[in-house]
Amino acid sequence: MRTEFAFTLPRGYVDRQGTVHREGVMRLATARDELWPLGDMRVRDNPAYLSVVLLSRLITRLGSLTEIDVDVVEELFAADLAFLQRFYEKINLDGSPLAATVCPACSHEFDVDMGSRLGE
């Protein structure tokens, strides 16, 4: 069973040295992963913070970084955070990073790998 999925952020995390980290890996969530953040005071004070804490537990690698904490997730661009939220939902609900889509011009149906380099 596949439990880790590669992704590429649209913009990338920029660390303090100016290095951009775009390639990453997210693992599937366990029940503990989804319950643990509920005890976090930041989540209790602001329920929207749940995704930040949850993603910091599930992203196992981002570029050369192997220790992803809430500080890293907080510093992501909004487009990258939104991408990761959708990616999380996709792999945890469907078990696959593939999203069905339809070409607006010809109505051809096909799958898009959300973990691939979209738009490149």
pTM beyond cutoff 0.95:
no
**Across 51-97, where does the E strand assignment appear?**
59-62
Check whether 120 has a pLDDT greater than 60. no
* pLDDT, tens only, 56-84: 999 999 999 989 999 999 999 999 999 99
